[in-house]
Amino acid sequence: MAHHMKSKWPIFLRPVMVRSLYVLMILVWAFPVLWVILTSLKNRTEIFTLPPTIIFRPTIEHYIEALLAHDILKGIFNSLIVACGATLITLLIAVPAGYAFSRVRFPFRTRLSFFALLAQMAPPIGLIIPCFLFLSRFRMLDTYVGLIAVHMTLTVPFSIWLMITYFQDLPPSLEEAAIMDGVSLFNMFLKVALPNAWGGVGVTAIFAFIESWNEFLYAVVLTGSRTKTAPVAIFGFLAAEESRWGPFTATGVLIMAPVIMIALVAQGQIVKGMTMGATKG
Which tops the pLDDT comparison, 261 or 183? 261
| The predicted structure's pLDDT at residue 251 | 93
Distance CA 108, CA 10 (A): 52
* C-beta neighbour count of 151 within 10 angstroms: 26
CA distances from 109 to 113, 140, 171 (A): 6, 32, 21
pLDDT digits (tens, 9 = 90+) for 191-250: 888 888 888 898 899 999 999 999 999 999 999 989 999 999 998 888 766 678 889 999
Distance CA 256, CA 202 (A): 20
CA distances from 72 to 45, 65, 225, 229, 256 (A): 23, 10, 12, 8, 14
pTM for the full predicted model: 0.82
Which region among 16-30, 39-53, 73-87, 261-275 has the lowest average model confidence (pLDDT)?
261-275
Which range has the top average pLDDT, 57-71, 80-94, 151-165, 254-268?
A: 80-94
| The predicted structure's pLDDT at residue 45 | 82
| The predicted structure's pLDDT at residue 279 | 46
**Model confidence at 281: pLDDT above 60:** no
| The predicted structure's pLDDT at residue 272 | 64
- Domains in the chain: boundaries: 2-40, 61-279
Distance CA 31, CA 119 (A): 33
Is domain 61-279 given the CATH code 3.30.9.30 in the classification?
no
**Model confidence at 63: pLDDT above 60:** yes
26: confidence class by pLDDT, cuts 50, 70, 90: confident
| The predicted structure's pLDDT at residue 270 | 66
